Amino acid sequence: MGKIDTEAKAYLSNKERFCDIFNFWIYDGKNVIKPEYLNELDTTALAIPYGNKARKHVQKYRDILRLYAAQHDDQAIYLILGLEIESKVNYAMAVRAMLYDALSYTEQVELITEQRRKDKPKQTYHEFLSGLGKGDRLKPVITIVLNLSGKYWDGCQSIHDLLAVKDKQILRFVPDYKLNLLSPDLLDEQDFDKFRTSLGAAMQFLKHQHDDNMDWIQNNKRMQAIDRNTADFIQTTTGTDLHLKNDDEVINMCRAWENSIKEAESRGEARGEARGEARGEARGEDRLSRLIAHLLALGKTDEILSATKNAVLRNQLYEKYSIT
């Protein structure tokens, strides 16, 4: 496990931040899932696939896995919540996440089957063979994939996207599996207000880490006082040296970023030509013009608007089409 993955796992294992992610994704930021109703689960996904006479186990390791158990409107709600942290774009992630979820469901079936064998309830022949009773139900499994690569996620986000066949008549009979992909670069600016912890500040910084100008951070209240853990998380995941002091517990990210730029300038390494010389701007405009012309020639008009707005995607396209 790399440094980013290790730092992110420690940071996001905090129950408040973990809840923040799932409340954002499932409830649009409403405070529904609460830390006191979370229970740790073994992150080892271990199961024996059906029909496996050799009883050979399949074993995978989840990043963070928790059981949510609470009462809502006099009804017990149980959810298995998994968070997968990706410091690189994983082009097979749709298959990997689908396997994780399938193993979680398989494990639930095995646990129910084992309990029924102990309790020996009245059951039909079919229930005995199935391992499940007719009325038994499983807990929903929700896996969120968090993109911390600093790159636009250009990988497939569903099983259907990965398939070589695109015939809709065939795909009607092929079950799809879609990623719950949380990628900072895909969030709108107002989305960061939906986070209740300083994770919102971290996600916003991650989105803008490659921007040529940092005007967005000026007068940004969210960035004026964040906790040290979040500052360390930002520093590790973005590779930005914020020159944090050991005794700093509350960080003004605006000031930390300015200090970082000044330090870089003093070494002659100003980020992205911070002063924006006219010659550099002209080169940038010429490069973008050539990219647009290339995309038009390929008939990829839908990518043009995204490229002009998204610096991460734009740089990836420059590299992809060798536009120097």
List pLDDT tens digits, range 115-160.
999 998 999 999 988 889 999 999 999 999 999 998 999 999 999 9
**Most confident residue range from 78-82, 125-129, 250-254:** 78-82
Name which of 21-30, 193-202, 206-215 the model is least confident about.
Answer: 206-215
- Which alpha helices (DSSP H) does the chain contain, by range? 3-12, 15-27, 93-119, 125-130, 159-162, 168-171, 199-208, 228-238, 253-266, 278-297, 302-309, 311-320
| Cα–Cα dist 209/206, whole Å | 5
pLDDT tens digits for 277-293? 555 555 666 677 778 87
Distances (CA, A) of 199 to 27, 29, 306: 16, 12, 25
**pTM of the predicted protein model:** 0.78
Instruction: Inform me whether the pLDDT recorded for 219 exceeds 80.
Output: no
Q: Tell me the sheet residues that pair with 58.
A: 47
In this prediction, residue 74 carries a pLDDT of 76
Task: Indicate the pLDDT class of residue 47, thresholds 50, 70 and 90.
Answer: low
In this prediction, residue 267 carries a pLDDT of 65
- Which alpha helices (DSSP H) does 66-123 contain, by range? 93-119
| Cα–Cα dist 184/317, whole Å | 18
| CA-based torsion, 16, 18, 65, 229: positive or negative | negative
Average pLDDT, the chain: 85
Q: Tokens 């790159």 appear where?
A: 151
In this prediction, residue 277 carries a pLDDT of 52
Instruction: Inform me whether the pLDDT recorded for 101 exceeds 70.
Output: yes
| Residue 186 Ramachandran class (φ > 0 left, ψ -120 to 50 alpha, else beta) | alpha
Task: Indicate the pLDDT class of residue 264, thresholds 50, 70 and 90.
Answer: low
In this prediction, residue 275 carries a pLDDT of 47
Backbone angles phi, psi at 132, to 5 degrees: -105, 145
Q: What percent of the chain has pLDDT over 70?
A: 87
Task: Indicate the pLDDT class of residue 271, thresholds 50, 70 and 90.
Answer: very low
Q: How many other CB atoms are there within 10 angstroms of residue 193's CB atom?
A: 12
Q: What is the mean pLDDT of residues 207-226?
A: 82
| Cα–Cα dist 289/294, whole Å | 9
